[in-house]
Amino acid sequence: MNVNSPVHMVTRLIDSMDLNALRAARSEATVPQTFSSASFDVDLETGFFPRQPLRALTSEFALWEQTLVQARNVLKLAADRGEEALAKAGEGEQWRQRVRSWPLLDVKKLGSDVTTLRRAHWVLACILHFYIHSLPRTQTEGQTIIPRPLAVPLYEVSRKINLPPILTFADIVLWNWEYKNPEQPLTLDNMRYINVFSGNETEENFYLLSAAAELKGVEMLRIIERVVNMAGHLDRNAIASITRDFEQLVKVIGDLAVILKEAPKTVHPHTFYWVARPWWNGSDDASPWVFEGIPPNSTPYLSGASAGQSTVMHALDAFLDVDHALKHARQPAPSEDNKRAASSNFMQKMRLYMPAEHRDFLVELQKRQVRDICQRTPALRAPYNTAVEALKKFRDAHIITGTLFIISQAKSQPPASMGIPEAITPKEGQAMGTGGNPVSTLLKAGRDATRRTMLDA
Ligand code: HEM
């Protein structure tokens, strides 16, 4: 036997640890129920992806599906003044006119099946973003009007599934695909993204990159479920098993970091910034969105789609108990920038853009207090800390990605193909994320909050 193997070392640590502490940990950590991801619409084969792609809407709602297909052929970003965009401007206006003159469909006829309602959210939110981001500047001065036949059904469908009436990460990544071969399981090679706003490879590759992280998340979910259930009944075997799971988790988080580091191989930063990302933007102060037919102020959550809404990363945070909100006094003390970022409550707000069941999953996970259990169990502190360290390294890599894809590009000029004659003056101040937050401060605050999660060994 290898006496230096992690499991053997753990056994020695347990032998030498205070058994009273173990007993105390066991009794305090006892939780009433088995934690089952499946109760929260999480699949241990496909993670946060639905097992089957959402089926296209039929009957009168096929109108929405057809309108979305047409949009992909004719609409360009309002800022695009290139030859192709100018040639298509007339058709684009006709498309928007058709949306304005749609009949007002009754969403009650969609029924209550959640997958149908999700498909309706996806199709309407995609149309919304095509509509808004292609509108000529002259039509968005002071405010951006969303016409009633689009605004009302989107608002009502969103209410039914407890999501904001805007494009979310779930819409662009979790629900926006179909199988290449439906007989085969869900893998990166066997999925095709359906709605790619710009039609550009970089945008599709960004979805695939995000999908790669989601599929990696499946392994993470299995580990989390095992650890959470074992942590409720600590004995020597459980501690050894949890230790192995933390080691496995370190590898999974390392793989997530590799996905990020390799992003520039398939996602072109300049194209990403200028051609793909503007389609996902949310409402802004210069031209706030107004939903016709909806009472004012009833649509407060209108941040643009962001990978910050991926439940995978939030699950890691909830499991390890990363304190983004600075509720606990942990060391080292937060900087002024950290405090400013925490006050925006970004991570908490991002949960509102997740499918409701996934949001509940996070709440339940957080209740399991794995960090506290590891704190009280000396043999688990080091294994726990290695997972936190891996997550901190992921966030280091994410800062580099954010710098390359957003902060540096914010100082660049749009591509010549967009035909913008006059030089665009780089914006003053910090570059902003699609969620409307200063990128650098926010990402560093996440990294620092992760560092503060480490236990004293
Ligand atoms: C080209 C790739 C990526 C870029 C350019 C990028 C950029 C950003 C930016 C700018 C933010 C700030 C928030 C906002 O959107 O307003 C952010 C947040 C976030 N992103 Fe990414 N991201 C990328 C890929 C990913 C991937 C693959 C994941 C998941 C594995 C991810 C997870 C997150 C999370 C969880 C946050 C919230 C802040 C944090 O946890 O530190 N991102 N990202």
Question: Residue 130 Cα, ligand 1 centroid: separation in angstroms?
Answer: 23
Q: What is the reported pLDDT for 11? A: 39
Cβ partners under 8 Å of residue 13, min gap 6: 378, 379
The residue among 89 and 437 whose pLDDT is bigger is 89
% of the chain beyond a pLDDT of 70: 90
Cβ distance 76 to 198 under 8 Å? Answer: no
Q: How far apart are CA 17 and CA 9, in angstroms?
A: 12
Q: Which domain holds residue 179?
A: 6-54+166-451
Nearest-atom number in ligand 1 for the CA of 216 is 30
Cβ distance 208 to 266 under 8 Å? Answer: yes
- Asked if residue 231 has pLDDT above 60, the reply is yes
- Asked if residue 4 has pLDDT above 80, the reply is no
The residue among 27 and 288 whose pLDDT is bigger is 288
Min mean pLDDT across 12-16, 108-112, 166-170, 307-311 is at 12-16
Tally the domains of the chain: 1
Nearest-atom number in ligand 1 for the CA of 317 is 40
Q: Is 161 inside any structural domain? A: no
Q: What is the reported pLDDT for 457? A: 78
Q: Is 233 inside any structural domain? A: yes
Nearest-atom number in ligand 1 for the CA of 431 is 10
Tokens of 40: 């929260």
Q: Is 87 inside any structural domain? A: no
Distances (CA, A) of 76 to 200, 275, 414, 442: 12, 9, 14, 30
- Asked if residue 17 has pLDDT above 80, the reply is no
The answer to whether 358 is annotated as binding is no
Confidence of residue 9 (pLDDT cuts 50, 70, 90): very low
**pLDDT tens by residue, 120-164:** 999 999 999 999 999 999 999 999 999 999 999 999 999 999 999
Nearest-atom number in ligand 1 for the CA of 443 is 41
Q: How far apart are CA 306 and CA 318, in angstroms?
A: 19
Cβ distance 402 to 47 under 8 Å? Answer: no
Residue range 32-45: mean pLDDT, rounded: 90
Q: How far apart are CA 418 and CA 94, in angstroms?
A: 21
Q: What is the reported pLDDT for 438? A: 86
Residue range 262-274: mean pLDDT, rounded: 98
DSSP E strand boundaries for 209-309: 289-291
Which residue's CA is the closest to the ligand 1 atom numbered 30? 213
Confidence of residue 432 (pLDDT cuts 50, 70, 90): confident
Cβ distance 78 to 134 under 8 Å? Answer: yes
Q: Is 108 inside any structural domain? A: no
Q: How far apart are CA 307 and CA 170, in angstroms?
A: 9
Question: Residue 348 Cα, ligand 1 centroid: separation in angstroms?
Answer: 15
- Asked if residue 1 has pLDDT above 70, the reply is no
Q: Is 237 inside any structural domain? A: yes
Question: Residue 99 Cα, ligand 1 centroid: separation in angstroms?
Answer: 32
Q: How far apart are CA 193 and CA 200, in angstroms?
A: 12
Question: Residue 424 Cα, ligand 1 centroid: separation in angstroms?
Answer: 26
Residue range 281-308: mean pLDDT, rounded: 94
Q: What is the reported pLDDT for 10? A: 40
Question: Residue 106 Cα, ligand 1 centroid: separation in angstroms?
Answer: 36
Confidence of residue 297 (pLDDT cuts 50, 70, 90): confident
- Concatenated DSSP letters of 291-313: ETTS-TTS----PPP-GGG-HHH
- Asked if residue 15 has pLDDT above 60, the reply is no
Best substitution site from 221, 266, 283, 306 to test ligand 1's pocket, by max atoms within 8 Å of Cβ? 306
Q: Which residue has the tokens 């003053």?
A: 428
Residue range 196-220: mean pLDDT, rounded: 98
Nearest-atom number in ligand 1 for the CA of 303 is 16
Q: How far apart are CA 371 and CA 384, in angstroms?
A: 8
Residue range 259-286: mean pLDDT, rounded: 97
Best substitution site from 398, 400, 403, 437 to test ligand 1's pocket, by max atoms within 8 Å of Cβ? 398
Cβ distance 430 to 402 under 8 Å? Answer: no
Q: Is it true that the peptide bond before 332 is cis, omega within 30 degrees of 0?
A: yes
Find the helix or strand (DSSP H, E) in which 111 lies.
none
Q: How far apart are CA 159 and CA 305, in angstroms?
A: 18
Question: Residue 136 Cα, ligand 1 centroid: separation in angstroms?
Answer: 29
Q: Is 411 inside any structural domain? A: yes
The 3 state secondary structure assigned to the chain is CCCCCHHHHHHHHHHHCCHHHHHHHHHHHCCCCCCCHHHHCCECCCECCCCCCCCCCCHHHHHHHHHHHHHHHHCCCCCCCCHHHHHHHHHHHHHHHHHHCCCCCCHHHHCCCHHHHHHHHHHHHHHHHHHHHHCCHHHCCCCEEECHHHHHHHHHHHHHCCCCCCCCHHHHHHCCEEECCCCCCCCHHHEEECCCCCCCHHHHHHHHHHHHHHHHHHHHHHHHHHHHHHHCCCCHHHHHHHHHHHHHHHHHHHHHHHHHHCHHHHCCHHHHHHHHHHHHCCCECCECEEECCCCCCCCCCCCCCCHHHCHHHHHHHHHHCCCCCCCCCCCCCCCHHHHHHHHCCHHHHHHCCCCHHHHHHHHHHHHCCHHHHHHHCHHHHHHHHHHHHHHHHHHHHHHHHHHHHHHCHHHCCCCHHHCCCCCCCCCCCCCECCCCCEHHHHHHHHHHHHHCCCCCC
DSSP E strand boundaries for 190-274: 191-193
Which residue's CA is the closest to the ligand 1 atom numbered 36? 308
Q: Is 146 inside any structural domain? A: no
- Asked if residue 70 has pLDDT above 80, the reply is yes
Instruction: Please state at what angle helix 311-320 crosses helix 201-231, rounded to 10 degrees.
Output: 30
Using DSSP, how many helices (H) and how many strands (E) does the chain show? 18, 4
Question: Residue 312 Cα, ligand 1 centroid: separation in angstroms?
Answer: 12
- Asked if residue 27 has pLDDT above 50, the reply is no
Q: How far apart are CA 245 and CA 238, in angstroms?
A: 10
Report the CATH number that the domain containing residue 377 is assigned in CATH: 1.20.58.480
Cβ distance 152 to 102 under 8 Å? Answer: no
Which residue's CA is the closest to the ligand 1 atom numbered 27? 210
Question: Residue 398 Cα, ligand 1 centroid: separation in angstroms?
Answer: 7
Q: Is 63 inside any structural domain? A: no
Q: What is the reported pLDDT for 16? A: 40
Residue range 12-32: mean pLDDT, rounded: 43
Q: How far apart are CA 12 and CA 29, in angstroms?
A: 22
Min mean pLDDT across 34-38, 192-196, 320-324, 434-438 is at 434-438
Which residue's CA is the closest to the ligand 1 atom numbered 4? 402
Pocket of ligand 1 (CB under 6 A): 206, 209-210, 213, 256, 259-260, 263, 267, 306-308, 310, 312-313, 395, 398, 401-402, 405-406, 433-435, 437, 439, 442-443, 446
Cβ distance 221 to 44 under 8 Å? Answer: yes
Q: What is the reported pLDDT for 19? A: 38
Nearest-atom number in ligand 1 for the CA of 436 is 16
Cβ distance 313 to 320 under 8 Å? Answer: no
Which residue's CA is the closest to the ligand 1 atom numbered 28? 307
